[in-house]
Chain A
Amino acid sequence: MRKIDFEPEKPPSTVHRHRTGIEGLDDLLNGGLKPGALGLLIGPSMSGRGTLARQYFYQGLKEDNASIYVTTKNFTEDIVTLMEEKKWTLDAYTEHYVFIDAYSPQSDPSLKDSVDVKYVSSVADFARLTNAIVSSMSENLARGVLNQRVVFDSIDTVLMYVSAQGVYRFLSYLRAKIKGFRSSSMFMIEPDLHEERQVRTLFQLADVIVELKPDEGIVQVTQPGLPKRRGAFRVGDTGCIVVPEPLD
């Protein structure tokens, strides 16, 4: 009788996560952000919030993900320059990333889209902004790139011009789209700029909250159903450094 070798049953695969590229932070996040997760990245100015977001964006490119960066308060060129200062050069990753720039058209409305930048004339134009983000995710998916990540820098600017209710409605829709595409995301917000009630409302949308507390030099991670995790946080020459506090 012919012997048939059956493949041993494989253990169930763990959910692939989108690493931030910051080893200690990935530990606090149990490996990174889950696909479909909406992350809120909270912290005051000069807290290292932007560096963390850019590192997460760049890590996506290093892992053959597609990365989308929505900027509402900086020129695209300035973000690229900040990345180059950390040696995070984008040249090798053309067509794997796109900037959605809702800031630059305020000073130059004649800007035309390019391969790596889509311009939206205003952060208050939710239809166009959503369209730019969703069409970018769709284009990536059409190219067979299944792992995507989105940085939204930042909600603060949107809240300056649109009511908190309006922003909540907009983000609710965007959240559903991000989940549909199984993208992970980091939405940046500086709570001190807004009323606490507004910020608390937006917290309801988050699957994970990463909060930077520069006075204490720590980062705190909050995920539903899990204990809060903390770690020491600082920005070094090559990126963010997180040293997790041990679990109790």
Chain B
Amino acid sequence: MRCGVATVNLFRVGIRLVDERLRLAEGPTRVLFISSPGIDPAPYGVNSAVAALKEGLEVTYLVNNKPADAIRAVADLMGFDLEEWESTGQLRILDSFSGYMNIPSNEEHRLDTPQDTNAMIESICDLTSEGNVVIFDSLSSYIDMCEGGETDGMERLMRVVGSLCEEHHFVGLFSTWGYEPKNIQTIREAFDTVLALQPVERLTIVRQFLRAEKIDGQVVPDFVVPIKVMQPGGVRVFFPKILVTGPFHSGKSSIVQAISTSSVSVDRLGTTIAMDHGYLDYKGFAADIFGTPGQENFDPILEYLAEEAVAVILVVDATKPDTFPRARTMLQLTKGYALPLVVAANFSDLEESLTPDQVRDGLGLQSNVPVIPTIAVRGSGAEELLEMIFELLMSEEGLTLGDGEKEDNDEED
């Protein structure tokens, strides 16, 4: 069974770096989010839906393992209001759950016989015009709910996926609950883009990573990025700790404030005595920012503050080269030499400030370490700092920022 002839628009899943590659696709996009048990894939479905809606595409969101309201609640937590899109008919949440449970439903779009595969395909095709988006939440529950067990569930599922993928962008959410490996492989092969959601677990999940197994049919080696569902905010490539360090009165707190979306400082008598903390949300990236105190009597805690940092911004007063030895000591204490490093040459507007090359030489750093002139209290140079630190982080992850970033920036402006 097929729905019609394909005429498709470009589709995004709302995740920076993945979207930059998906934009190259011309035909329907088939995206599989495959998650370890315990990671809830629903936010990734909602994120994809919202990204598509913002692009002007129509979305049918099929939900079979919870009430449709649960999807609205997930969206609400992520800071997305679906009501307007639903009221205009651009978004249709298709309730395939109440039919399974045999419970009443007030949903406008409802599948009364979700066990009937043909009826399901027909309903989705009726609702979704060609070239638009179907989100299927969830493929694994569909298998689990088939009375005939895994083999029967797989056979039915492949019919659904095969029928819907030809003319629609299709996003499937799948949790790997110990199915037969050959079945998991079959599902992987049915999709052009496979994004694995993987946990770092210490009894409980402490972090999530997104690993792209393939994008648009092409295997993508070494594509692994840390990821987090922000509430609110949606899915973000997330770096858990960027450290801002540097000598006393170099302007660290001002830099933290300048680059953060929100921040707080623990101060006494105008100087930081514990740490600064900021949260950063920038062009699809998110990060927690930790600023250290600069005074030597806090050196014993520097090592601890720097634990698990993924990058360092070293702030120096570009007019005071006599503080550079202290800056080098702080880099050693925070292990900054071993991490992606950017130097903020602060107070760069003052006449006596050194040039970036002079600052780099004065700090004894290699020529490839970026030095960005900043005037932290005015926020000048903050964007350049962010661009540079994320570029370094991405190259550490084996990735590079794509051309899409300029477009993103223009959109946000």
Contacts and interface: CB of A to CB of B under 8 A. Distances in A.
Contacts of A75: none
B67 A127 contact: no
Interface in B173-205: 175, 177-179, 203-205
B67 A106 contact: yes
Given A121-B66, A122-B70, A169-B179, A163 B42 contact: no
Contacts of A81: none
Interface in B384-399: none
Nearest to A106: B103
B208 interface: no
A128 B205 CA distance: 13
| Most central of B40, B66, B73 by chain A CB within 10 Å | B66
Contacts of A173: 37-38, 177-178
A191 to B, nearest CB: 19
Interface in A133-161: 134-135, 137-138, 141, 161
B69 A124 contact: no
Given A109-B73, A131-B38, A180-B203, A121 B67 contact: yes
A25 B144 CA distance: 36
Given A126-B175, A130-B37, A163-B147, A109 B203 contact: no
A166 interface: yes
Q: Secondary structure at chain A's binding surface: helix, strand, loop or mixed? A: helix
B70 to A, nearest CB: 4
Interface string A100-125: 00000110011000000000011011
Interface in B128-179: 138, 140-141, 143-150, 153, 175, 177-179
B65 A165 contact: no
Interface of A: 105-106, 109-110, 121-122, 124-128, 130-131, 134-135, 137-138, 141, 161-167, 169-170, 172-173, 177, 180-181
Contacts of A166: 143-145, 177
Nearest to B177: A169
Contacts of B70: 105, 109, 121-122, 125
Interface in B75-117: 97, 100-101, 103
A105 B73 CA distance: 12
Contacts of B138: 127
Contacts of A134: 38, 203-205
A187 B250 CA distance: 60
Given A161-B101, A162-B144, A170-B177, A127 B204 contact: no
Name the residue in B37, B141, B146 with the highest tally of chain A Cβ atoms < 10 Å from its Cβ. Answer: B37
A65 B141 CA distance: 34
Given A127-B35, A177-B203, 9 more contacts: A109-B73, A121-B66, A127-B37, A127-B39, A138-B204, A141-B203, A163-B145, A166-B177, A180-B203
Interface residues of B, number: 37
B77 to A, nearest CB: 11
A127 B40 contact: yes
Nearest to B35: A127
Interface in B309-338: none
Contacts of B67: 105-106, 109, 121-122
Contacts of A180: 203
Given A163-B145, A169-B177, A128 B100 contact: no
Contacts of B66: 121-122, 124-125, 128
A135 B40 CA distance: 12
Nearest to B68: A109
Given A121-B70, A163-B147, A172 B178 contact: yes
Contacts of A130: 37-38
Contacts of B150: 163, 165
